[in-house]
């Protein structure tokens, strides 16, 4: 675990202790955005969290054509170009779940989501936002608000 990941994991505890703490978080696969975030982090001697969504980057390539390992290499190349130290970098996966495959049956979509999450973890991503809130092709219809929370209606 990198020093940046350890600091990221302790943000809440540091804030509870009265320390001002946080981390810049950028969710983009655009090289100019990533490089700008890394240049800013380098100038401030700050950690930077770069995230990719399940649609952008996944084990099948996503719409960017990058796997998690490929995205890691892409970001690290931009870090080197920006003069940003890799040990201040945290990589994250955002909304990791069946969303790219929601048009498929839930069992198939969830199997693909599991493979994607494994690929993110294997590539060294340490911040994972798991999201299975979207319906898949064979999931039942969404219940009406009046059925879910009748006390509010």
- HEC letters along the chain: CCHHHHHHHCHHHHHHCCCCCCCEEEECCCHHHHHHHHHHHHHHCCCEEEEEECCCECCCCCCCCECHHHHHHHHHHHHHHHCCCHHHEEEEEEEECCHHHCCCCHHHHHHHHHHHHHHHHHCCCCEEEECCCCCCCCCCCCCCHHHHCHHHC
Find where tokens 């990941």 sit. Answer: 5
Q: Look at residue 115 in the predicted model and tell me its pLDDT.
A: 99
Domains of the chain, by residue range, sit at 20-132
pLDDT band at 153 (very low <50, low <70, confident <90, very high): confident
What integer best gives the mean pLDDT of the chain?
Answer: 93
- Can you tell me the distance from the alpha carbon of 32 to that of 20, in angstroms, rounded to the nearest whole number? 29
* pLDDT tens per residue, range 50-95: 999 999 999 999 999 999 999 999 999 999 999 999 999 999 999 9
CA distances from 66 to 22, 59, 69, 133, 139 (A): 28, 8, 8, 24, 29
CA distances from 108 to 95, 98, 114, 146 (A): 18, 9, 10, 31
* pLDDT tens per residue, range 82-135: 999 999 999 999 999 999 999 999 999 999 999 999 999 999 999 999 999 999
Topology given in CATH for the domain delimited by 20-132:
TIM Barrel (3.20.20)
**pTM of the full predicted structure?**
0.87
pLDDT band at 24 (very low <50, low <70, confident <90, very high): confident
Q: Look at residue 151 in the predicted model and tell me its pLDDT.
A: 77
């Amino acid at each position: 675990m990198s020093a940046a990941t350890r600091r990221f994991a302790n943000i809440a505890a540091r804030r509870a202790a009265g320390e001002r703490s946080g981390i810049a978080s950028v969710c983009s696969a655009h090289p100019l955005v990533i490089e700008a975030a890394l240049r800013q982090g380098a100038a401030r001697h700050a950690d930077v969290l770069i995230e990719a969504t399940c649609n952008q980057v996944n084990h099948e390539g996503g719409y960017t054509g990058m796997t998690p390992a490929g995205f890691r290499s892409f970001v690290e190349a931009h870090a080197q170009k920006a003069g940003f130290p890799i040990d201040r970098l945290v990589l994250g996966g955002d909304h990791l779940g069946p969303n790219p495959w929601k048009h498929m049956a839930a069992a198939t979509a969830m199997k693909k989501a599991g493979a994607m999450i494994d690929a993110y973890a294997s590539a060294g991503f340490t911040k994972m936002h798991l999201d299975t809130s979207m319906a898949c092709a064979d999931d039942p219809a969404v219940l009406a608000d009046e059925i879910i929370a009748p006390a509010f209606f």
